Amino acid sequence: VLANIDFVNTNLDETLKLVNQAGGEGTVIAADLSEDEGAEKTIALAEEAFGGLDILITSAGVGYSWAETHPGTMDDIAATSPEAWHDIMALNLDSTFYMVRRAIPEMRKRGGGAIVNVASISGMLGLPVAHTYSAAKGATINLTRSMCVAYAKDNIRTNCVAPGWIATPMVAPLLDIFDNPETADSITPARRPGTPEEMAHACLFLASEEASYCNGTVLVVDGGQSARQ
């Protein structure tokens, strides 16, 4: 079963249709996860729909495309206003805090669970721009490790996926850099962006019993990009 969350229902209904066609069950929840009230609503509705919470994947966030409508949010730190800093932190880090804070007590009631936080290789590398984004993703990675240490005794596993270039609307304006083979090879040995399906497989693995001995893991899904750096 799947609870899919976004600001609005625009793409969620289509996702739910695909889940149902594949033989699964799901529900959609429109919530602002940059606020604690949104996380509280989400956990409550998911539990109401499915009777409990076993797996949480925290993938809420924004990237480079956000700067098209929110100028200054993907700049270097000297060019970043306090408002832009808090904007990105709320969406990319606070949302994870609010969700895991609400999820852990519910997982304890059920004797355990699995949490997968979505970060980025930007949280592992130095960047010339997007400093707030990089800081948020780095914090997500270390939060994952700390949660692993703290909640293993509750049979709650916490892992993290750190993607590189993934072909989503978030980075769609920049994907034409892969059109040139030489440029593509300089970005990642895979010479292409990853697909949403490849990201989903990574998250599914870490959430599954096949990863029962993975805890505090940062699974890099970047086609080899970070291996060069």
Which residues fall within 8 angstroms of residue 45, CB to CB, at 6 or more apart?
3, 27, 29
Q: Which two tokens stand for residue 97?
A: 């805090």
Q: Is 133 considered catalytic here?
A: yes
| The total number of residues written for the chain in this structure | 229
Give the H/E segment covering residue 87. Answer: helix 82-89
Distances (CA, A) of 161 to 57, 137, 164: 10, 11, 10
* Gap between the Cα atoms of 48 and 97, Å rounded: 22
Q: Name the active-site residue from 98, 133, 151, 213.
A: 133
Cα torsion 166, 168, 169, 171 to 10°: value is: 10
* Gap between the Cα atoms of 123 and 220, Å rounded: 11
Instruction: Go through 78-113 and write b for each residue having 16 or more CB atoms within 10 A of its CB, e for each that does not.
Output: eebeeebbebbbbbbbbbbbbbbebbbebbeeeeeb
Q: Which two tokens stand for residue 42?
A: 């989400």
Catalytic residues: 133
